[in-house]
């Protein structure tokens, strides 16, 4: 019925090859005089989405999740995944080859400390770990009497004979009408933020993309080019990128900087070290190899926060205008989907993949879609209770009576979207309505919160949980993550979470997504994107902030128990739905317009 342009639903895991590949890796380690090797799920930039050439963990183990690590020793091998993947990993990985651990309960370094024998040489690839990550491993290995060896080349690459070539996606210029600030002004701001540092190394491709107003096509779902950059305190920055990614027009548009091949990076960092320079690195993304290169040459490394992260998080007027336009467009596509779903779901013929493909098709009909911002989470019943479920042809469930959850997003040149809606198929149970309404109360609690300047996401997180806590319930993920401007759908440093310590500032875009998950039965999540903005309060003694909701799409009225809502909560929902109806009605088909009128009708006092 529908064709999917950006998403695939095949399961590329090949866990059956795990024992054979593990044996080959052990032979290669023995050939090099090594007793073990660390394999993170990471590329040289610690990206969330990595190119096929960097999927070493998936190739070795069969595990395709977005986070994890493996440790290979002579007689033991282990895979470590977090709580999101404790069901997925055993289904993909041969348990005879790899023991599987929840990293929240057994950390890789703690396991390693108990396994290493005196004199063992455990290798790592310093391009794939940050200094902090390697420090933890080094402490564990050293405590056990072993040695952590920084390999000059990756042993796994030596046996991965059909490894894909690194990507060569074309770099494009991000127009000023979307960026709102020219790169020269951004560079000046970055240079002013360096303090005593002589240079800043940009190891996060998102930071490079924002600073220089470029975008790329090297990984799925996020428009970045895999590259590094050095911004000196004075003078032109240097962009280290494969020249084959740059067309003549892009090169001309980058005249404000120097372009160098990636292989020149180490030599230039060594030169900074020889000149005794103080260089700042991003602790979250810098490969340990770069810090080692600087320090071994005599330089001083300042490993800490990348100053571009907060600059990028505070969206300017042009970026906010783009976000509003992107969400209006995306809301119309979402309304078309929801109308279609309301008619098609009761037939019993739809599957999770059908739904994901349909939504992408409606978005593609806008003729503005660049990509989905992440693989859609399209989960029926029990699959919806798996927070990071990814539907494949093997798991594809029929949509039937119960709760269906779809979490999806889009990349448009003017903005990035992310929305979750939970939909009733057939008549929901009283328990479903109770749980959904409690999640909605938490969603409204965040949407309507007012807070003083300087408050962090950790201080707001409880607002999303109060109604669930009242019933002895909770959810085990953060309430909200930061979102980029035609960049990553998961952008820091801002977040609404128990761990969200960064102050929220005007212009920051975040998600608002409380949920509830009943294992083996159903999942509920309601997600809108929100933007921080000033709040004027008469007589206020402090500068106050609040949120404006960007996402425009109906919330399923059949799942709401009005008696659980306060008058203020009903007023917010009715006002939100009136806004959705007014904004989207002119943009949708006549059939969807008629459906929208019913889907956004006001809830009356019970």
Instruction: Name which of 304, 299, 262, 261 is nearest 285 in CA terms.
Output: 304
Alpha-carbon span 443 to 448, nearest angstrom? 9
**Alpha-carbon separation of residue 563 from 8, 68, 122, 432, 435 (angstroms):** 42, 44, 61, 14, 13
Alpha helices in 35-170 (DSSP H): 56-61, 88-92, 108-115, 131-143, 155-159
Mark whether 91 and 195 lie in a shared domain.
no
- pLDDT single digits (tens) 268-291: 999 999 999 999 999 999 999 999
Mark whether 430 and 465 lie in a shared domain.
yes
Provide the pairing of β-strand 509-512 with 528-535: antiparallel
Q: CA 214, 219, 505, 567 torsion: positive or negative?
A: positive
Residue-level pLDDT at 307: 97
C-beta atoms surrounding 474 within 10 Å:
12
Res. 1: pLDDT tops 60: no
Alpha-carbon span 279 to 31, nearest angstrom? 37
Mark whether 109 and 186 lie in a shared domain.
no
Mark whether 453 and 499 lie in a shared domain.
yes
Is residue 606 situated within a structural domain? no
- What CATH code is carried by the domain that includes residue 375? 3.90.230.10
Is residue 165 situated within a structural domain? no
Residue-level pLDDT at 539: 94
Is residue 326 situated within a structural domain? yes
Residue-level pLDDT at 58: 95
Q: What is the mean pLDDT of the chain?
A: 96
Domains identified in the chain, total number: 3
Is residue 4 situated within a structural domain? no
The pLDDT confidence band at residue 83, using thresholds 50, 70 and 90, is confident
Instruction: Name which of 485, 486, 534 is nearest 509 in CA terms.
Output: 485
- pLDDT single digits (tens) 159-183: 999 999 999 999 999 999 999 999 9
Q: Are 79 and 59 in contact (CB under 8 A)?
A: no
Res. 15: pLDDT tops 90: no
3-state secondary structure (DSSP) of residue 34? coil
Mark whether 582 and 465 lie in a shared domain.
yes
Residue-level pLDDT at 10: 74
Kindly state the helix (H) or strand (E) to which residue 341 belongs, with its residue range. helix 317-344
Mark whether 322 and 242 lie in a shared domain.
no
The pLDDT confidence band at residue 4, using thresholds 50, 70 and 90, is low
Point out the domain boundary residue: 113, 128, 159: 159
Is residue 479 situated within a structural domain? yes
Instruction: Name which of 507, 506, 479, 483 is nearest 493 in CA terms.
Output: 483
Q: Which positions ≥6 away from 354 have C-beta within 8 Å?
A: 1, 2, 399
Q: What is the distance in angstroms between the CA of the first residue and the CA of the last residue of the chain?
A: 42
Expressed as residue numbers, the domain containing 56 is 15-159
Is residue 135 situated within a structural domain? yes
Instruction: Name which of 12, 529, 489 is nearest 219 in CA terms.
Output: 489
3-state secondary structure (DSSP) of residue 411? strand
Q: Which residues pair with 279 in a beta bridge?
A: 199, 301
Is residue 471 situated within a structural domain? yes
3-state secondary structure (DSSP) of residue 260? strand
Mark whether 454 and 591 lie in a shared domain.
yes
C-beta atoms surrounding 602 within 10 Å:
12
Residue-level pLDDT at 86: 81
Backbone angles phi and psi of 344, in degrees to 5: -85, -35
Mark whether 260 and 397 lie in a shared domain.
no
Mark whether 239 and 141 lie in a shared domain.
no
Mark whether 471 and 562 lie in a shared domain.
yes
E strands present in 345-484: 369-372, 377-380, 402-408, 410-412, 415-416, 419-425, 451-452, 480-482
Point out the domain boundary residue: 307, 337, 355: 307
- What CATH code is carried by the domain that includes residue 39? 3.40.350.10
Mark whether 532 and 481 lie in a shared domain.
yes
DSSP 373-397: SS--EEEEGGGGGSTT----TTT-P
Mark whether 219 and 196 lie in a shared domain.
yes
Is residue 9 situated within a structural domain? no
Q: What is the mean pLDDT of residues 23-51?
A: 97
Q: Are 330 and 363 in contact (CB under 8 A)?
A: yes
Point out the domain boundary residue: 277, 307, 337: 307
């Amino acid at each position: 019925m529908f064709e999917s342009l950006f998403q695939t639903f095949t399961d590329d895991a090949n866990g059956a090859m795990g024992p054979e590949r593990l044996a080959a890796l052990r032979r290669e380690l023995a050939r090099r005089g090594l007793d073990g090797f660390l394999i993170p799920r990471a590329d040289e930039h610690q990206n969330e989405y990595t190119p096929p050439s960097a999927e070493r963990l998936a190739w070795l183990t069969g595990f395709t999740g977005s986070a994890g690590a493996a440790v290979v020793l002579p007689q033991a091998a282990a895979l470590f995944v977090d709580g999101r993947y404790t069901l997925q990993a055993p289904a993909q990985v041969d348990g005879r080859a790899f023991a599987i651990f929840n990293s929240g309960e057994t950390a890789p370094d703690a396991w390693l400390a108990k396994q290493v024998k005196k004199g063992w040489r455990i290798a790592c690839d310093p391009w794939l770990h940050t200094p902090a990550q390697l420090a933890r491993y080094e402490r564990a290995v050293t405590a056990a009497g072993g040695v952590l060896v920084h390999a000059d080349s990756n042993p796994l690459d030596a046996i991965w004979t059909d490894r894909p070539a690194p990507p060569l996606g074309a770099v494009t210029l991000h127009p000023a009408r979307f960026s709102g600030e020219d790169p020269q002004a951004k560079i000046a701001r970055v240079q002013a933020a360096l303090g005593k540092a002589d240079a800043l190394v940009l190891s996060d491709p998102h930071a490079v993309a924002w600073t220089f107003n470029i975008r790329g096509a090297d990984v799925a779902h996020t428009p970045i080019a895999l590259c590094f950059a050095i911004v000196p305190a004075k003078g032109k920055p240097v962009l280290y990128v494969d020249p084959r990614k740059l067309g003549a027009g892009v090169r001309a548009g980058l005249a404000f900087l120097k372009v160098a091949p990636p292989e020149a990076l180490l030599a230039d960092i060594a030169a900074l070290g020889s000149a005794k320079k103080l260089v700042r690195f991003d602790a979250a993304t810098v490969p340990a190899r770069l810090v080692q290169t600087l320090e071994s040459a005599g330089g001083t490394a300042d490993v800490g926060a990348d100053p571009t992260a907060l600059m990028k998080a505070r969206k300017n007027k042009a970026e906010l205008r783009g976000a509003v336009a992107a969400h209006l467009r995306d809301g119309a596509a979402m309304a078309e989907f929801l109308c279609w779903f309301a008619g098609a779901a009761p037939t019993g013929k739809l599957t999770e993949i059908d739904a994901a493909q349909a939504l992408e098709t409606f978005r593609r009909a806008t003729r503005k879609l660049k990509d989905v911002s992440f693989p859609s989470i399209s989960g029926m019943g029990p699959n919806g209770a798996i927070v990071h479920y990814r539907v494949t042809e093997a798991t594809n469930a029929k949509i039937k009576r119960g709760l269906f959850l779809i979490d999806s997003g889009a990349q448009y040149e003017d903005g990035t979207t992310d929305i979750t809606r939970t939909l009733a198929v057939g008549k929901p149970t009283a328990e479903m309505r109770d749980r959904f309404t409690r999640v909605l109360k938490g969603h409204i609690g965040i949407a309507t919160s007012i807070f003083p300047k300087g408050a962090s996401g950790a201080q707001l997180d409880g607002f999303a949980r109060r109604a669930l806590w009242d019933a002895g319930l909770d959810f085990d993920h953060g309430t909200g993550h930061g979102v980029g401007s035609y960049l990553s759908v998961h952008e820091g440093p801002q977040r609404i979470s128990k761990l969200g310590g960064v102050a929220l500032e005007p212009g920051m875009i975040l998600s608002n997504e409380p949920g509830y998950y009943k294992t083996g039965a159903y999942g509920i999540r309601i997600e809108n994107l929100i933007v921080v903005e000033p709040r004027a309060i008469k007589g206020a003694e402090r500068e106050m902030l609040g949120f404006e909701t960007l996402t425009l799409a109906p919330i399923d009225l059949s799942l709401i128990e009005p008696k659980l809502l306060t008058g203020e909560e009903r007023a917010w929902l009715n006002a939100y739905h009136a806004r959705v109806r007014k904004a989207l009605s002119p943009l949708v088909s006549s059939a969807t317009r008629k459906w929208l009128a019913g889907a956004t009708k006001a809830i009356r006092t019970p």
